[in-house]
Amino acid sequence: MITTAPACSVEGGRPFAALPEESGRPLAALPEEGGRLFAALPARDAAAMARLRARLAEQAQHEGILDVAYRTLDTPVGSLLLAATAQGLVRVAFDVQGHDAALRQLAGQVSPRVLLAPRRLDEVSRQLEEYFAGRRTRFEVPLDWRLSKGFRLGVLRHLRDIGYGRTESYAEVAVAAGSPRAVRAVGTACATNPLPVVVPCHRVVRSDGSAGGYAGGADAKRALLALESPAWHRKPGRLGGDPVE
């Protein structure tokens, strides 16, 4: 029987999702039987540990206590952390943003019951692989928007309307979001987007057509723009007023 304690905790700035020998104590949501199995395992039996992680994730899902599942995915723009609740994809984080920091954010703002459970992320992983292979131009996965609110949420919802291979300036997005003077706020919304790539803040560029800043780094933004339009460019924005970055 799985307890109601967190399925994953964050301690000392480092998550420990299923490695009790690293944390110094049993995993919080580990069944008693699983605890005995872990104690009997050789410390370096990686394959057995992987099987037990999968078993733990399945049982947590069955018991309804897997609040946030996560995995990582290697991509042309680096390793992405993917996390999902039962409602949908809730977080995408670049390696340069700090995967551990993203997990701490999820533990603090969504639920401390966070577990390495790749199966829940199978579909979004497949769609991301298709996107980076040039076979997908739109993501069709449910999203959990709870980490964004107010004007920022309105901006992020609009970003999904900027089609593959197209761009808009920060000022154009501000107009579309209903606040033409809120150009800096648009920049902040893009910079704090919890779902980059899937919610395409990389398609928001400066009015002169240059890429501008990006949470995943300037190289990642240019790579995404080039993937979608190998000769990407846009004429200087008619509206001007980009945020200072």
CA distance 82 to 28: 22
In this structure, the number of other CB atoms found within 10 A of the CB of residue 22 comes to 10
For the annotated catalytic residues, the residue numbers are: 201
CA distance 15 to 28: 12
DSSP assignments along 93-131, one per residue:
EEGGG-HHHHHHHHHHHT-SBEEE-GGGGHHHHHHHHHH
Answer whether 29's CB lies under 8 Å from 3's CB. Answer: yes
**Spatial CB neighbours of 91, under 8 Å, sequence gap ≥ 6:** 70, 81, 82, 83, 102, 105, 106, 147, 194, 195
* 114-116 sheet: strands from edge to edge: 89-94, 78-84, 68-75, 114-116
